[in-house]
Structure formats: structure tokens, C-alpha cells
Amino acid sequence: MHTPHRTESPHRTHDPYEELGVLADTVPGEHPGPFPDERPGPLPNGFRGSDDGFPGSYNGGNAEGDDGGNTGGDDGRWRARRARERTPRADHRGSRRRRRRFTALPLAAKAVVGLVALTAFVALADRWAVLYAEDKAADTLKDQLSLTAAPEVEIGGFPFLTQLADKKLDSVKVTVPDLAADRVSLAKVSATAHDIRLETDGLTSIHGAGIPRLDGDVLLSFGDLNRELGASQVTFSGDGNDRVKARGTLPVAGHDLRLYAEATIRRQAERGIATDIGGMRLDIGDLATFRPGPRASDGLHLTKKASDDLGRETRKAKALLSVPALVQRLGVPETTVRESLSDDGKLAELTGSPDFAREARNLNLIDLAMDNPEVLSGLSLDPDLLDALSRLTRPALADRLSLAFELPEPEHGDVRLRDVRVGEDGIRVRLTGSQLTVGGS
């Protein structure tokens, strides 16, 4: 029977290791059969593994009588070598490669790397110098302005050391929080000086500065107004670009009266801010409203609701009509008054008319009570309250709500307040200055 055999391709490369069985799936000591699916056989006699673990050559034995067979020691070393090759090993050559790679860089590239490192170092030193200068400036301003806390100082421009050497700074921003100003505290005064000229004796001794131009703003917060003027009973809020509303309660003669007022913010001279208080009103429940002032509409008057209710409150209506001076001021004929006092229907008809309600609201109850104290009991008004209101003048009430402050006048230069505007957080005023000096000889 003819045994089939494989015919090698004329382009196949002869590999002696393949003949010796050194394939991926070949067991040392065996060689592949003539077909891939045959079980590998032993190596030919005389072939042995080399000392390094790889198959050696066919030597037919050695001089010491070795028969050239595949010994067990060689086979074990070959297997151990294969196991080590399959185990991942750390590459200790990477660092050496990187060092050789840096050494191989051109001189220009090395110079660029060195320049970048030097620039980073110089920039770090410059920032440290800025921080030191800002701290020293903050401490100096705190002492000169007698502040409770050091202000925030921010020196602009880069690099700082070059500006210092030139004795000129691009900008310096100073922020002073909680600056006392008359009866109120300014929440924040922030100003930025530009193109500052320094008076120095070297880089470490600065004894003065000239400020040709300065701008900033002043913030008076509503929170400070509520705490310092309102005493937790009155709150302030914005009402347009130049007005502030005041709402709350005001204790008068043991009664908490509802307070309503408006303040118009205005600039006072060149460095001050003041308010004009208007629209002041104190409400005694739904019964009466007090407006301090000398005008006819000022004083204590019945509310619209109270005057309209006179037609349904017989007792109060009769109390008013029983006072001749009041009847005269109301312009009611005497015959009508007598009929109304004896006939409730006539009384309701009189007090329920729109003319009577309007005239009742025009009465100044304080003036009426001074001449006719009995009216007070008829209207359920406390005599002590009316006495306190009669002494509560408009200036006295306005003084409780008014605010004002003025910036100190500098020894050299000019500082002015410009635009005044009311925002959501408080009152803001623009600040400008020119030709200022700090320290110096």
C-alpha cells in the first residue's frame, strides 16, 4: 500500500529547528511526525539540548562517552528557560533609554528646557514678592486710616519686580470693608489707583507714592441700614434709581404703629451723601393715620375705612355730632344734627353719605382732641398716644430714618463722589480721585 507523503512547496524555506521538533507545541525530546496530526516521536539519536536550554546540534555524542541522547537534565533546563521567557519581566532599560534620549537632544532643545525652568522659577519669585508687598501695604493702610481690620490690597501688572525697579506700578486695588461713616457703616469702599509713581530707596524701601488717577465705588448695604437705623423694626429696600423705601413698626406711647416712609438719595457737595425723607406715615390700625408736618393734610386723620364705617357705628357717629366745634367743621346744619341724634335712620343717612365721610377724613383729630378731649373716648383713641403724636414732629421722625456720610478730605489731591444709584443690594456711589499722594516727604 502506497503511503501518502507531503510535498514541500518549492518556495518553502528549510528550517532545521522544525525538523528537530522545536515548534510551539513540540515537547522537548520529541520531534514531529511526518504529518501534523501524528504524535511527535523522540529526537534522533545523537541530538541533545544545549547548555542554554535550546536544542543543540547533532554531535553523535561527546568525548566522555555521552551517547548524545536527550538527557533529563537538558530537558529540564530547556523547559525552565521556556517558562522564564513566557513570564513578563520588568523593563529596566526604559530609564536608561530616556537618559540617552535626553543626552541625544540638540543643544537648542536643551536651552529651551532650561529657559522654561528658569522662567517658572522667576515667576514664582515674582509672585512671592507681590504677596509680601500687598501684606505690607495693607498693614500700612490699616495704621494710617485707623481701620479695625486690614484692607485687601491687590497689585496688578506683571512682572512686579520689573515695575518696582522702574518705580512705577500699573495699578493697585484697595478694598476696605465695614468703614464707619457717621451713623452708618459703609459695607465696602473699593478703589483702584492707576499709574502709581513710587518714592523708593532701593527695592526694599518704599516711603511714598503718587496717584495721578483713581476710580472706584462705595456700597451702603440695606442690611447695614436695617441693623443700624431700623433696629430690627424697620427694613429698607430699593424703590427706583434714587429712592429707598422704609417699612416696619415704630413704638409710640406703648403702641406699635405701622411705619411707611420714602427716602430720596442725593449727593451732598463733592464728598457726601444725604437723604430727604418724605411720605412719612404712621398707621394706628385701621382707625387713623398720622402724618407729621405743618400742612393741612398732615396730622391725625381717620382712614377711609373708619370714615365709611361711621354710618354703621352709631355710637361713634353720635360722639362726633355731639361736639359743636366738630359739627361746625363738618358743615352740617344744626337742624340736621338734631334730627340725626334723635333718629337713627336720619343718622345713618347723614353719616353714610359720601360728603360726610370725606369731610370726616379731613378732620385733624389731634387739634380736635386738644379742644374737645371727650372726642377721644368716643373714637376709642388713647389720650397718651395722641399726646405723644402731637410731640412727634416731622424732623424728629425723619432723623430716625435719615442717613448721611462724607468721605474725609485728603491732604493732597482731590476725591469726589459722582453718580448715586440704588440697586438691589444697597446704595452705590461712584468714586473718583486725582493727583493724590500717600506718604512721602
Residue spans of alpha helices (H) in 273-333: 304-308, 314-321, 324-330
The grid cell for 145 is: 486710616
Task: Measure the CA–CA gap between 388 and 371, rounded to whole angstroms.
Answer: 16
Predicted local confidence at residue 89, as pLDDT: 55
Which residues on neighbouring strands pair with residue 197, listed in sequence order?
Answer: 168, 210
- Predicted local distance difference test score (pLDDT) of residue 7: 47
Give residue 231's pLDDT: 67
**Which grid cell sits at 57?**
546540534
Element (H, E) at 439: strand 426-439
Whole-number pLDDT of residue 345: 85
Cβ neighbors of 246 (< 8 A, separation 6 or more) are 230, 234, 235, 236, 259, 260, 261, 262, 263, 401
**Are residues 277 and 262 in contact, defined by beta-carbon separation less than 8 angstroms?**
yes
C-alpha cell recorded at residue 97: 533609554
Q: What's the pLDDT score for residue 440?
A: 61
Q: What is the pLDDT of residue 144?
A: 74
Among 390, 347, 398, 342, CA closest to 366: 390
CA distances for 292 relative to 266, 281, 300, angstroms = 22, 8, 8
pLDDT at 422: 92
- pTM across the whole model: 0.62
Distance CA 108, CA 230 (A): 72
Where the chain has pLDDT below 70, the residues are: 1-76, 78, 81-105, 110, 202-205, 231-232, 377-378, 439-441
Closest by Cα among 410, 307, 315 to 363 = 307
- In the prediction, which pLDDT does 171 show? 92
- Cell output for 172: 493697585
DSSP string over 163-183:
HHHHTEEEEEEEEEEEEEETT
| Residue 108 region by backbone torsions, left for phi larger than 0, else alpha for psi between -120 and 50, else beta | alpha
Looking at 133-291, which runs of residues are DSSP E strands?
A: 152-155, 168-181, 184-200, 206-221, 234-238, 243-252, 255-268, 272-284, 288-291
